[in-house]
Amino acid sequence: MAYEYHRSGSLEEALVLAAGDDSALIAGGTDLLVALRKRKRPAPRHMVSIRSLPELAEVSEQAGSLHIGAGVPMADVLANTVVREHLPALTAALAVIGSRQIRNVATLGGNLCNASPAADSAPPLLVYEATLELAGSSGRREIAISDFFLGPGRTVLRPGEIMTAIRVPLPGAGAQSAFLRRSRVAMDLATASLAAAYTARDGKLINLRLAAGAVAPTPLRLRRTEAFLEGKPVAEETLAEAAEIARSEVAPISDLRGSEWYRRELIGVFLSRALRPRSTRMKGSA
Amino acid sequence: MSEEHFIGVETARPDAPDKVSGRTQYVHDIAVPGMLWGAIRFSDHAHARIKHVDTSAAERLPGVKAVITAYNTPEVRIGFLRDNFALKRDKVRQYRDEIAAVAASDPDTAREAASLIRVEYEPLPGVFSPEEALVEGAVLVHETDARGRPRADNVVPVRFAHHSGDIEAGKRASKFIVEGEYTVPLIQQSCLGTAGCIASFDARGNLTLIAKTQIPFLVQRDFNKALEALGLEGRNVRVVVPALGGGFGTGLDTHAYEYIAMLLAWRTGQPVKILYNREEEFAYLSPRQSATSRIRQGCDENGKLTFREIEVVQDNGAYTSWGATFPSVMLVPATSLYRVSNISFESKIVYTNNTYCQAMRGYGNPEITWPIESSIDELAEQAGMDPYEMRLLNCNQPGETTPMGLKITTCGLKECLDRTAEKLDWGTNRGKGKGVSRGFGMASVINVAGGGKIYRSDGSGIILKLDDYGNVNVSYGGVEMGQGLHSALILTVAEAFGVKPDQVVINQTDTATCPWDVGTHASRGAFMACNAAVMAARKLRQRLFEWAEEIYPQQVEESLTKARKHNPEFREPEFDWRAAASRDRFELADGILRVQGAPDRPELQVELGRLLRAIHFRKQGGGTTFAEEAFYEPPTDLPDWERGYGNMSATYAFGTQGVEVYVDEETGEVRIVRLVAAHDVGRVLNPQTLRGQIYGALAQGVGYALYEEVHTDKGRVLNPGFTDYKLPTACEMNFPIHIELIETNDPEGPFGAKGVGEPGLVPTAPAIANAIYDAVGVRIRDLPITPEKVLRALKHQRAGSPVR
Ligand SMILES: Cc1cc2nc3c(=O)[nH]c(=O)nc-3n(C[C@H](O)[C@H](O)[C@H](O)COP(=O)(O)OP(=O)(O)OC[C@H]3O[C@@H](n4cnc5c(N)ncnc54)[C@H](O)[C@@H]3O)c2cc1C
């Protein structure tokens, strides 16, 4: 596993290096190096680090949105007060990713670009309708996160293209969001996860967005379930019916983390737990 | 409680500072000059004929020093049935079969060369479960036995059974009978330190093997036999054991990779190291086997057990190692956990094309306590009894002889049951589960705790040697693998001989310097070592005191002379120390020699080192040095396995664990709220290491109960690593654990202690399963109890259909 490691000083330089033959971008390396070690992908000749690029290193509030540099370690995102205050689903997701050691190096950009169906930051960013900022040798573009994932390990990123930032519109007053997830033990990828964002008005769900992880080839929005619930009051029967729709809307596989059946079950449970008013939630549920 | 100085006193373990500061030398850290690295080419099929092996590309790779196969090396057979070979010639029977091996200048080259070896196979159909393997006309894993005689079926020719009393009469006397089938999965011992060895030959053909083993002397015997295969009769193998990063049973047999290292070292004339990485450890080392048990138990109208009937079928995998003898240990709880007079136990071990299996902590006991203790709860429910009361009613008693002929000397089971119930507030808490999803369960254990005789000798030798400074060097052939053996041994030697623990140093385990020991298994390490140490310490004191009769008065005279000169206020001691200086009046404690009844004056006390030097450099010549050996053979029987009868251990440990769980009824997840572990340990030697043994065992018990399983698909391991083989982490173990240590002071134990290595993981799984049942009314009979299994059972329960 011999490669040349490039620590580029600017985005421009990194883009040039990344456009070269047989090169790979590395941020925290917590996905990439594991994949190389397990020989899940061939070792590149050039490893281009984007961790210390100033363009990717900032978290700032800009015109009602939070701009999160794609190279910011998760621990720093998690420590950000705006994130903690306004983006509870993202906070909850980041808090369970790996361990403290992993979060100290792993980046949000890496989590998304790696495009694991189980990437925990994806469902929250899907329900917050984040926009991804990409830079390539032929210029910059922006893309909605719902258009980003193509399949396991596949995204719309062009060769050599770098994700520079994730832009998250900050939810308005009264908006609520939650993230639920189960794994076999701690420090494990999700068996299934679900994020929900909505506003409760007069007991009704308004502007509901739902997204699930580890239950389809990509993290996905549950648009049929959303449509069914939009504008409805939260009643147990409604939730049961919505859970049924959600279970049919996901397309999980059976693997060592859980069976297809169990993953569908979890999605149904998460849905009702995310939307049930707090007071009626079962004891011990997250 | 007693006048002992160190026994029972919380003492930091001696190996801790080096371990936490990274100074300890594991096999991973050791390199010897001129060392090559070995790598093995494993099979690509679960069952196939080997048609051709082409090693030419591997041989051409720069850095490769030797490539060996079964075709260019002598045949080396392994395993107690001799059904395995270091390198396979005609057929592979499992994915991990070793076909060829390489020695090269570095590990990467060795692995690359191994991957360049081309093997042509003729694939054969395989059998991947005992059921498949037992079908009439099933493909045979071994067509012949080790002597070349044709085999008729896939049943491994080892038999362990027990029949006592009258099962039919027992059934007739039963008011309630329960029956169930229970399974346990294939699991991995998960040592932090992976397997490895270094083999080096001297120019005369003697082999030194640095081996990650728990049985250095049995390994020596096996390897001496292998030397004969190389034409090296009369040459010797010296086995040196480095610090072990965990053993848990993995070191209870020799492994093909060790013989391969030996063959490569012999071929190249250079030392060869083979080291497994984590994936190799999972895929190519022997795990703990899966088993299915059918159990029937009954009780009369009062809850007295009337009979117990068990049939076990184990998946042996393709070759035979000690996993096949688990039923020898299953016999102990099957016949002797609680009082049951009518017993039937039958076991069958079946060859399959799965990975072959080996020992792990508990050695059959957790596998069989799982059905027994689950079934006790089922029976209690049938009988309308509190399961705790049923256990009390049938509790083992001190002084009884069980149907297997086990002589129970001390027995703290009743106290263990009572303490557990008390700590969990059993009476008020249990049985309230439904509705709150909280439940309480308990289960008990009986385990050998004074050795386990499965070999002609179950003994242990020890040598205590004194240096000129009063340090005691201990040579003991058993293995410290993290369990704290050395800590117990140091305290025992210090106490029994009369020095401070810091004056006791334990030498590296090495067949060249340590006396014979059968191996570190069956919770026997501290029990044996400390008993032998007490014997040797007594001899050492005796000889020292004989010499002191002459030397002590001289030393005292010297001290007094000095004191008279330097101290103007000196007063002669009012004590006739010359008369008192006799072997039966000496006392040695904390490294100071005194005589009984002497006033507490420094001049009348001789520091041990000074005494030893005075003896060694005796003025008139003819001095001596001190070393004493002792061999402790416990008073036990080698059982008659056909009958399943014999007192295999000098004493037995008992324990009860109780647990409170919370079950998430929507997701099926089980969370442990708290756990109580009450164990009859005989006597506490070092509370720190004893607790460590129980905590560690408990965590393994929790893993067995809830998380761990090696998944396979037609013999191939699907989760060879901790990504998908789930051990409980600190987050899962994040619940209060209350340990109750019950001291029964066993007369055969060193200072009253019993072996404690294994019992802690035995009852954990059934205690958890019983608590889940109490919480939500579903009984899971196959481990691990995953959320998915619980949820499925809950759904069946709600739908009103049976679980299976
Ligand atoms: C022990 C452990 C536990 C883990 N637990 C979790 C978990 O609970 N949940 C979870 O979701 N993940 C988990 N992971 C996976 C991993 O940590 C995350 O996906 C992490 O966010 C990846 O970020 P990184 O910076 O390390 O990415 P890297 O490994 O550096 O990169 C991953 C991929 O993305 C590409 N890439 C990275 N940054 C960019 C960019 N800015 N633009 C374009 N391409 C880019 C790389 O080329 C590479 O292909 C775990 C990993 C480990 C080792």
**Over the stretch B472-484, which tens digit does the pLDDT of each residue have?**
999 999 999 999 9
What is the number of residues in chain A? 286
Helices (H), A114-205: 122-127
Q: Which atom of ligand 1 is nearest the CA belonging to A97?
A: 8
**Is the model's pLDDT at A54 over the cut of 70?**
yes
- Distance in angstroms between the alpha carbons of the first and the last residue of chain B: 54
Per-residue confidence (pLDDT) for residue A283, from 0 to 100: 37
Say if residues B479 and B525 touch (Cβ distance below 8 Å): yes
Q: In angstroms, what is the span from residue A247 Cα to ligand 1's centroid?
A: 28
Q: Give exposure, B573-600, as e/b (b: 16+ Cβ within 10 Å).
A: eeeebeebbeeebbebeebbbbbeebee
Q: Which atom of ligand 1 is nearest the CA belonging to A27?
A: 30
Helices (H), B584-679: 608-616
Q: Which residue of B has its CA nearest to A37?
A: B279
The percent of residues above 90 in pLDDT, for chain A, comes to 88
Nearest-CA neighbor of B68 among B121, B114, B120, B122?
B114
Which tokens sit at B43?
A: 């099979």
Distance CA B587, CA B581 (A): 10
- Tell me whether the omega of the peptide bond preceding residue A44 falls within 30 degrees of 0, making it cis: no
Q: Which residues sit with their C-beta closer than 6 Å to ligand 1?
A: A 24-32, 34, 50, 70, 96-98, 102, 106-107, 109-111, 113-114, 118-120, 157, 162-163, 187, 189
CB contact under 8 A, B671 and A284: yes
Close Cβ partners of A160 (under 8 Å, ≥ 6 residues apart): A15, A18, A19, A20, A23, A136, A137
In angstroms, the separation between the Cα of residue A267 and the nearest Cα of chain B is 10
Chain A contact set for B724 (CB, 8 A): 256-257
Chain A contact set for B664 (CB, 8 A): 282, 284-285
Name the amino acid, one letter, at A134.
Answer: L
Domain ranges for chain A: 4-49, 54-169, 175-275
Confidence category of residue B433, pLDDT binned at 50, 70, 90: low
Nearest to B711 among A185, A256, A269 (CB): A256
In angstroms, the separation between the Cα of residue B741 and the nearest Cα of chain A is 30
Specify the CATH architecture of the domain A175-275.
Answer: 2-Layer Sandwich (3.30)
**Substitution candidate for ligand 1 out of A46, A50, A111, A161 with most atoms within 8 A of CB:** A111
Distance CA B434, CA B773 (A): 9
Q: In angstroms, what is the span from residue B280 Cα to ligand 1's centroid?
A: 25
Chain B contact set for A261 (CB, 8 A): 788
Task: Tally C-beta pairs within 8 A across A and B.
Answer: 47
In angstroms, the separation between the Cα of residue A186 and the nearest Cα of chain B is 6
Handedness of CA B701, B705, B709, B714 (dihedral sign): positive
Distance CA B390, CA B529 (A): 38
**Is the model's pLDDT at B432 over the cut of 90?**
no
Nearest to B731 among A182, A186, A258 (CB): A186
CB contact under 8 A, B724 and A185: no
Residue B58: which H helix or E strand, with range? helix B56-60
Per-residue confidence (pLDDT) for residue B800, from 0 to 100: 84
Per-residue confidence (pLDDT) for residue A276, from 0 to 100: 87
Ligand 1: which residue has its CA nearest to atom 28?
A: A29
Q: What is the mean pLDDT of the segment spanning B62-85?
A: 97
Q: Please check whether residue A284 touches B, CB under 8 A.
A: yes
Ligand 1: which residue has its CA nearest to atom 15?
A: A31
Say what the ipTM of the complex is.
0.94
Q: In angstroms, what is the span from residue A24 Cα to ligand 1's centroid?
A: 13
CB contact under 8 A, B711 and A265: no
Per-residue confidence (pLDDT) for residue B434, from 0 to 100: 64
The verdict on domain A4-49 having CATH code 3.10.180.10 is no
Distance CA B439, CA B785 (A): 15
The pLDDT tens digits for B203-245 are: 999 999 999 999 999 999 999 999 999 999 999 999 999 999 9
Mean pLDDT for chain B overall: 96
**Domains along chain B with CATH numbers:** 17-23+34-124+195-275 (3.90.1170.50), 291-454+638-799 (3.30.365.10), 459-632 (3.30.365.10)
Q: Hey, which residues 160-199 in chain A have their CB within 8 Å of chain B? A: 182, 184-188
Residue B291: phi and psi, rounded to 5, are -155, 150
Model confidence pTM above 0.80: yes
Per-residue confidence (pLDDT) for residue A286, from 0 to 100: 39
Q: What is the mean pLDDT of the segment spanning B515-540?
A: 96
Say if residues B104 and B52 touch (Cβ distance below 8 Å): no
CB contact under 8 A, B667 and A266: yes
Per-residue confidence (pLDDT) for residue B248, from 0 to 100: 96
Task: Indicate the angle between helix axes B764-776 and B787-799, nearest 10 degrees.
Answer: 30
The pLDDT tens digits for B550-590 are: 999 999 999 999 999 999 899 999 999 999 999 999 999 99
CB-CB neighbours of B239 under 10 Å = 27
Q: In angstroms, what is the span from residue A274 Cα to ligand 1's centroid?
A: 26
CB contact under 8 A, A265 and B732: no
- Distance in angstroms between the alpha carbons of the first and the last residue of chain A: 42
Q: Assign a CATH topology to domain A54-169.
A: 3.30.465
CB contact under 8 A, B727 and A282: no
Which tokens sit at B257?
A: 């990779």
Chain A contact set for B671 (CB, 8 A): 284
CA–CA–CA angle B709, B713, B718 (5° rounding): 55
Nearest-CA neighbor of B459 among B508, B524, B511?
B524
Confidence category of residue B3, pLDDT binned at 50, 70, 90: confident
Per-residue confidence (pLDDT) for residue A51, from 0 to 100: 86
| B426 half-sphere exposure, CB direction, 13 A CA radius | 19
Confidence category of residue A1, pLDDT binned at 50, 70, 90: low
Chain B contact set for A275 (CB, 8 A): none
Nearest to A258 among B727, B729, B788 (CB): B788
DSSP output for A216-263: SSS-EE-HHHHHHHTT-B--HHHHHHHHHHHHHH-----BTTB-HHHH
Distance CA B522, CA B648 (A): 11
The pLDDT tens digits for B311-362 are: 999 999 999 999 999 999 999 999 999 999 999 999 999 999 999 999 999 9
Chain A contact set for B665 (CB, 8 A): 282
Q: Which atom of ligand 1 is nearest the CA belonging to A73?
A: 25
Per-residue confidence (pLDDT) for residue A52, from 0 to 100: 84
Distance CA B699, CA B697 (A): 5
DSSP letter assigned to residue A94? H
In angstroms, the separation between the Cα of residue A248 and the nearest Cα of chain B is 18
Handedness of CA B695, B700, B705, B706 (dihedral sign): positive
Per-residue confidence (pLDDT) for residue B560, from 0 to 100: 96
Close Cβ partners of A191 (under 8 Å, ≥ 6 residues apart): A182, A183, A184, A214, A257, A258, A262, A263, A266
Distance CA B123, CA B115 (A): 19
Chain B contact set for A182 (CB, 8 A): 667, 669, 787
The pLDDT tens digits for A154-212 are: 999 999 999 999 999 999 989 999 999 999 999 999 999 999 999 999 989 999 999 99
Per-residue confidence (pLDDT) for residue B802, from 0 to 100: 57
Per-residue confidence (pLDDT) for residue A279, from 0 to 100: 47
The backbone region for B351, taken as left when phi is positive above 0, alpha when psi lies in -120 to 50, beta otherwise, is beta
The pLDDT tens digits for A74-132 are: 999 999 999 999 999 999 999 999 999 999 999 999 999 999 999 999 999 999 999 99
Chain B contact set for A256 (CB, 8 A): 711, 718-719, 724
CB contact under 8 A, A262 and B787: yes
CB contact under 8 A, B731 and A185: yes
**Is the model's pLDDT at B738 over the cut of 90?**
yes
Per-residue confidence (pLDDT) for residue A284, from 0 to 100: 35
Q: In angstroms, what is the span from residue A11 Cα to ligand 1's centroid?
A: 20
Confidence category of residue B654, pLDDT binned at 50, 70, 90: very high
